[in-house]
Amino acid sequence: MDWLERITWTADGLVPVIAQEKDSGDVLMFAWMNREALARTAELGEAVYWSRSRNRLWHKGEESGHVQKVHSIRIDCDQDVVLLRITQLGHEPGIACHTGRHSCFFEELRTTADGQRAWQAVDPVLKDPATIYRS
């Protein structure tokens, strides 16, 4: 498919993907796709990533139920990054992170009382991860 070849794939045949919640604008997660993952995402209208840790296609939500409905697929000016606008579905909508939080970007760099910088979790856990992945 020609449109897939417009993308500059990494040497591993991957492209980085940003998933942004359509309604809130929140950046929910960052993952990777290969050609097949992107083709299936476009076909299915749901996010299908390439799991680098498991080395296989990963239909987001296949275990957690936290499927991402895809509204649009964009590429950047270098054609080497994909931006999805999605709705985060599931039994408890709006949970993208495996920690049970809304977004994977929940740690923020803050300055502590002693003047040091440190990462602090600033967003709440909405659902116990143990109950998300219990089979």
Measured distance CA(94)–CA(101) in Å, rounded? 8
Residue closer to its own copies (CB basis): 78 or 113: 78
What is the separation of C-alpha 4 from the centre of its chain, rounded to a whole number of angstroms? 20
Binding range to its own copies, per CB under 8 A, among 16-24, 61-69, 86-94: 16-24
Contact 51, 75 (CB under 8 A): no
**Cα dihedral value 73, 78, 79, 82, nearest 10:** -40
Contact between 99 and its own copies by CB under 8 A: the answer reads yes
Contact between 92 and its own copies by CB under 8 A: the answer reads no
Q: Max Cα separation, the chain?
A: 56
What is the contact surface with its own copies in residues (CB under 8 A)?
1-3, 6, 16, 18, 20, 24-27, 29-30, 42, 72-79, 81, 83, 97-99, 101, 104-109, 116-119
Residues placed in the known binding site for Mg(2+): 76, 78, 80
